């Protein structure tokens, strides 16, 4: 992502932070070919936990490396103070606003592309890591994973194109005729993530601003399953991006955010009727009754 684009994202995120309630929990994960989880609770200097972007790391491994020990009996929507104090990756805005703003200011433009190669983006790895972070730190609260990027995944899980510029990205015809092996693998990976998002009542939002293809066909599964937003635009300077981001964090008159999580619908039918599907962003709870 170019410096001007990063600047636009930084300014919009600054506006969002200024409007969030002080008790809202936030975190920051940045990425290129590696994934950096920012420790917002460490104030002496900037500190990050680095993960390799070319592989998928299990939830248990992420929790182990981060030293997260959540309280399994915490009530939904009620963050435990003990949990917040034991780790600095997810903190209330009131406790980490300066650290988060500083971390955003220190983000720089990507410069890892070699001649004749795509810039390396570990998009799948960063989504998986951010999801694991929320699963470990706030297992029952609900929340959002928001990804801001400028192109397709190039390395790691979910990649849809190789680094070599001479090799073209898959076309719609390739996908329709099952001649896109990287795309098929990416779909399997993102479908697994979609189930994890649904199981934890988490939402996935994707903001991609690029003149090239970005892999939206593969990334749509967790977005559709969780009820998230997907914004595709040419630049982060566009009004579409800014309006959508501000709409997501719109507040009620009592200053509460217009967000709801953990909604479920129970459908009861006679034995002769079988539910085959539903319209809209939803996932099956995988609960089947005999009668």
pLDDT, residue 111, reads 61
Confidence of residue 290 (pLDDT cuts 50, 70, 90): low
Give domain limits for the chain. 3-248
Task: List the single range of 62-76, 134-148, 176-190, 253-267 with lowest mean pLDDT.
Answer: 62-76
Segments of the chain assigned E as strands: 25-26, 29-31, 34-38, 48-52, 91-92, 143-149, 202-209, 230-233
pLDDT at 76 over 70: no
CATH superfamily of 3-248: von Willebrand factor, type A domain (3.40.50.410)
Count CA atoms within 13 Å of residue 216 on its CB side: 15
pLDDT-above-90 percentage for the chain:
33
pLDDT, residue 151, reads 86
Confidence of residue 112 (pLDDT cuts 50, 70, 90): low
Summarised one tens digit per residue, pLDDT across range 210-262 is 887 888 889 999 999 898 999 999 999 999 999 999 999 988 877 788 888 87
Summarised one tens digit per residue, pLDDT across range 134-176 is 988 766 678 999 999 988 899 999 998 888 777 888 888 888 8
pLDDT, residue 123, reads 94
**Residue with more model confidence, 131 or 176:** 131
Nearest partner of 92 among 132, 137, 148, 59, judged by Cα? 137
User: How far is 239 from 251, CA to CA, in rounded Å?
Assistant: 20
Please, what sign has the CA dihedral across residues 187, 188, 193, 196? positive
Neighbours of 124 (CB within 10 A): 26
């Amino acid at each position: 992502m170019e410096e001007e684009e990063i600047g636009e994202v930084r300014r919009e995120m600054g506006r969002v932070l200024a409007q969030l309630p002080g008790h809202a929990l936030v975190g920051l994960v940045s990425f290129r070919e590696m994934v950096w989880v920012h420790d917002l609770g460490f104030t002496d200097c900037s500190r990050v936990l680095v993960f390799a972007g070319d592989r998928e790391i299990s939830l248990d491994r992420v929790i182990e490396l981060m030293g997260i020990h959540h309280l399994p009996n915490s009530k939904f929507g009620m963050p435990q103070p003990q949990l917040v104090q034991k780790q600095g990756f997810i903190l209330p805005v009131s406790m980490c606003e300066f650290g988060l703003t500083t971390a955003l200011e220190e983000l720089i433009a990507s410069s890892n592309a070699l001649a004749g190669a795509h810039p390396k983006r570990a998009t799948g790895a960063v989504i998986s890591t951010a999801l694991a972070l929320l699963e470990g730190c706030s297992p029952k609260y609900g929340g959002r994973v928001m990804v801001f990027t400028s192109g397709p995944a190039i390395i790691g899980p979910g990649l849809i194109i190789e680094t070599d510029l001479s090799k073209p990205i898959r076309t719609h015809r390739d996908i329709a005729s099952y001649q896109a092996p990287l795309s098929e693998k990416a779909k399997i990976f993102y479908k697994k993530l979609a189930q994890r998002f649904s199981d934890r009542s988490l939402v996935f939002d994707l903001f991609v601003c690029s003149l090239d293809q970005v892999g939206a066909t593969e990334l749509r599964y967790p977005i559709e399953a969780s009820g998230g937003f997907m914004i595709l635009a040419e630049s982060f300077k566009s009004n579409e991006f800014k309006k959508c981001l501000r709409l997501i964090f719109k507040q009620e008159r009592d200053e509460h955010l217009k967000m709801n999580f953990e909604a479920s619908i129970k459908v009861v039918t006679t034995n002769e009727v079988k539910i085959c599907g539903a319209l809209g962003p939803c996932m099956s709870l995988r609960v089947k009754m005999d009668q």
